[in-house]
Amino acid sequence: MRAIHPETTIGHVHLIVANLERSLWFYHEMIGFQVLNVSNKKATLTADGKTSLVVLEEQTNAIRKPRRTTGLYHFAILVPERKSLAQVLLHLLKNGYPLQGASDHLFSEAIYLADPDGNGIEIYADRPRERWEKTESGEYKGVSEPLDIQHLLAEAEDEPWKGLPSATTIGHVHLHVANMEETYRFYVEGLGFEPVIRMGDHALFVSAGGYHHHIGLNTWAGVGAPKPPENAVGLRVFSIVLPNDEERKKVIAQLQQIGAVIHEETSVVTVVDPAGNQLELRIAR
């Protein structure tokens, strides 16, 4: 098995929503994205004015994603510093938007919420890499301790809300899957990500380049969970960004060796994991 290139990152997430106008209000006014463009019931969101981070697509007759199905658990918005996280948190609290949790993961501090369709969102800031703790096996410690909210908010300095910083990215994506053995084969043996955190046989976190995780995978919706209906809100596709075409070809070859089916249309390369989650393999600009 060949490891995926260490500079590999997550690019964007494409979400199905029930009401585009409602979702645009939430992602712009509450989260702080800029709207890059809107057309044909689809909107592209950015933090720097040019890079697509979130695509929202309204689907007619969309339904809520049923519980105990595969698909999106949450996607994670990575802000560049702790102060940025504090400012987002303060903004949400001032507006009374409900949070679902707030955790200290040792390598990062994070807050959790959901968009109007129930799509899970994490907003987080990393601690310096030299402070990330590892176990004796060499993997990162996967812990969720209560976040010291008051200590975090002290960094906000009550400055006027300006939205997300331009250096914001999609840090990771966390997915519900159906079978952990098949999932490991696809993400580790196929794509080449490195396992960095394991929680028994029900959760696996993988990354490139020693990051704490680019993709989280769990069977918390149940082993053998089915795919959601085609008209359910949730994740349509997310992208993995490789540094160049040569690296993408190596990943494609390795995926084909494990029997994954690759779809190529012009410059767009997609593949579907064993649980039905769709990935797009992109090249860095």
Mean pLDDT for each 10-residue chunk of the chain (285 residues)? 95 98 98 97 98 96 96 98 97 98 97 98 97 93 94 90 97 98 98 96 97 98 97 98 97 97 92 98 94
Q: What pLDDT, in 10s, does the model give residues 149-198?
A: 999 999 998 788 999 999 999 999 999 999 999 999 999 999 999 999 99
pLDDT given at position 266: 82
What SS3 class is residue 176?
strand
**Sequence-ordered alpha helix ranges (H) in the chain:** 20-25, 82-94, 149-153, 180-184, 245-257
Q: Of the candidates 251, 130, 104, 143, which has an alpha carbon nearest to the alpha carbon of residue 188?
A: 251
Beta-carbon contacts of 285 under 8 Å, excluding residues fewer than 6 positions away, are none
| Burial status of residue 10 (CB atoms within 10 A of its CB: 0-12, 13-18, 19 or more) | buried
pTM exceeds cut of 0.75: yes
Instruction: Give, as one character, the DSSP assignment of residue 129.
Output: G
Q: Which residue do the tokens 């994991």 mark?
A: 273
Sheet of 278-283: strand order equals 34-39, 42-46, 52-58, 9-17, 234-242, 278-283, 268-272, 262-265
> Dihedrals φ, ψ of 73, to 5°?
-90, -55
pLDDT given at position 53: 98
pLDDT given at position 1: 77
Residue 20 tokens, joined = 């585009």
Strand runs (DSSP E) across the chain, as ranges?
A: 9-17, 34-39, 42-46, 52-58, 71-78, 101-104, 108-114, 120-126, 145-146, 169-176, 194-199, 203-207, 215-218, 234-242, 262-265, 268-272, 278-283
Residue 44 tokens, joined = 């592209």
Beta-carbon contacts of 146 under 8 Å, excluding residues fewer than 6 positions away, are 102, 103, 104
CA 96 – CA 88 distance, rounded (Å): 12
Over its C-alpha atoms, the chain yields an Rg (Å, rounded) of 18
What SS3 class is residue 256?
helix
- Residue-range domains of the chain with CATH: 9-283 (3.10.180.10)
